[in-house]
Structure 1
Amino acid sequence: MVSYFLQHIQFEKRLSHHTLTAYEGDMKQFSLYLEFQYELKEPEKADSQMIRSWIASMAEEKMDNRSINRKIATLRSYYNFLLRRKAIASDPMLKVKALKTDRSLPRYVEEKPMQTMLDEVEFSSDFTGLRDKLVLELLYGTGMRLAELINLKIGDINLYNNTLTVLGKRNKHRVIPINKSLVEAINTYLKHREEVLLENPENKDNHYLILTDNGTQAYPMFIQRLVKRYLSLVTSLEQRSPHVLRHTFATHLLNRGADLNAIKDLLGHTSLAATQVYTHNTIEKLKKVFQQAHPKA
């Protein structure tokens, strides 16, 4: 039944490849635990006690509560799938609760360091330098996710309307406006991109915007290393990832008075609750201003 479940989320729910891989890993881990601990080869026959035992074993291994909760969410989807298809009589997840987690605020880079990185850090004028700066400009200038950047194609960019279209979670498209400086950066990069493809004719049919130095499609680790390298020049944040630039995009917009609903649409969130987390950063900033400026603070 696990294979049918994975096919369901891939072809019917149309979840992203990243999410599918995570679900598949969770189900494999759960199945191995049931077989080793209970000699049970069919996860659909597991009861709530077995599931809680698996959760307890992960907690004993000091796994982060957020990671455990994600695995719990996978099982909820799995048993809901079985219940809808009448493969089970009752849902064992009804007696399973998510673990408590501390609410952490999104990490972001302050405006001045971001300006320093984009305006003062020296990027080479060759393909590599132009590509690196464009990656940073796109992530910070649009708030797109890592997967959205990697899968962005030249045909997704409209340089006449100054917009680009990304394919987000659950295969939903959204249109994001881009500023003139980003349009110029894209135009300059595209000229050098053509030269790279001429030097690597085996990749001449590659339509992805961001390429490696040999003309292949960029991959997650490549972008993560690139972002970490440049962010290390301007910030001491422990986390220096593409997602930090997404948080930075949203926080800077909010700090400058952007409407929360507009930020929600730009980020591709399905609900306002997911976007409201950024208001906490703004409130914390206001508290600091108050503490520093008010006579009775």
Structure 2
Amino acid sequence: MVTAYLDHLAVERGTARNTLDSYARDLRRYTEHLARAGIEDFRRVGEADVAGFGAALREGDDEHPPLAASSAARALVAVRGLHRFAHLDGITDDDPAREVRPPAAAKRLPKALPVDDVLRLLNMPPAEGERALRDRALLELLYSTGARISEAVGLDLDDMDARDRTALLDGKGGKQRLVPVGKPAVAALEAYLVRARPALAARGGGTGTAALFLNARGGRLSRQGAWQVLKTNAERAGISASVSPHTLRHSFATHLLEGGADVRVVQELLGHASVTTTQVYTLVTVNTLREIYAHAHPRALG
């Protein structure tokens, strides 16, 4: 039956060879699982047998390591397709896999820094030189606006309005958004623009004239360069948590929600097309509340 199903996918559905190979491996593991349970006839398979295979995928066995939720879900999709094919083709009387749902992939929660770590990062004693002023301005802007690093390094001088304390960011899909900039970030930017940027620009002979943030050679600061600024300064501040290009963006969103901001406002500030994308941050804040509750409430564990 497995061969007939794979032939059906190849001929009738035009399924790609890589997908067919993956399904073949998944279904071979499924038939081996059934054989170990003493089931050789697909007409004897019940819903519990299919669900048991799903559990075995996640737990692993003597011959196979545990699968991640995404891989286990793919295998169960193959099994569900096989049983549906068998039922529709009249090979079996029913479809035992119909109600068995693939495991949901675990949500990858964004990792935000605690507020104290962010303040330690931003309040470090300033280092000497033009790049130190630039770094401070960049870090303040990232945390103040929630901008992606690519959006921050893409800023031109005309995109900043210090008097109105706003920045015009070019987001994904060419969508622009105007975001507020906090006073500390504006102050850091003004210090950089007056005391550091002219010297950096002179080294480039005008190559990065329009760019807000310049590298040591006077050109536009790259995304990789900005990431290194974040990483280097996090180490200087003694922050042990790993940082990524999105660390301050995640921290911005999480701290806003923990402070009571509406999720749709945060959605607009982050430039998310859908509020669903932003709602992952609400899971972080709920987890934080749950942890505090468990430690603080005398009857939380009762």
- TM-score between the two structures when normalised by the length of structure 1: 0.66
Q: CA RMSD in A?
A: 2.9
Pairwise CA distance, 1:262 = 0.6
- 1:212 aligns to 2:179 (yes or no): no
More divergent stretch after superposition (252-261 vs 100-109)? 100-109
Per the alignment, residue 168 of structure 1 pairs with 171
Matching of residues 1-297 of structure 1 within 5 Å: 47-53=14-20, 101-119=105-123, 121-191=124-194, 192-203=196-207, 206-232=209-235, 233-238=237-242, 240-297=243-300
Code of the aligned partner of 2:232: R
Code of the aligned partner of 1:52: T
Pairwise CA distance, 1:126 = 2.1
Any idea what SS the aligned residue of 2:214 has? coil
Aligned residue pairs, count:
218
Any idea what SS the aligned residue of 1:149 has? helix
Question: Given that residues 166 and 173 in structure 1 are in contact (C-alpha distance below 8 angstroms), is that contact kept between their aligned partners in structure 2?
Answer: yes
CA-to-aligned-CA distance 1:106-157 (integer Å, 9 cap, x gap): 10100011111111x2222421100111111111111011110111111101
Code of the aligned partner of 1:109: L
Code of the aligned partner of 2:217: N
Question: Given that residues 134 and 192 in structure 2 are in contact (C-alpha distance below 8 angstroms), is that contact kept between their aligned partners in structure 1?
Answer: yes
How many percent of aligned residue pairs carry the same amino acid? 30
Any idea what SS the aligned residue of 1:140 has? helix
Q: Which runs of 5+ in 1 are unaligned?
A: 1-45, 70-97
Pairwise CA distance, 1:234 = 3.6
CA distance in 2, matches of 1:148, 1:272: 20
Pairwise CA distance, 1:54 = 7.3
Say which one has the larger Rg: 2
Any idea what SS the aligned residue of 2:267 has? helix
Code of the aligned partner of 2:127: S
Question: Given that residues 269 and 275 in structure 1 are in contact (C-alpha distance below 8 angstroms), is that contact kept between their aligned partners in structure 2?
Answer: yes
Q: Which runs of 5+ in 2 are unaligned?
A: 1-12, 27-67, 74-101
Any idea what SS the aligned residue of 1:242 has? coil
Any idea what SS the aligned residue of 1:226 has? helix
More helix by share: 1
- TM-score between the two structures when normalised by the length of structure 2: 0.65
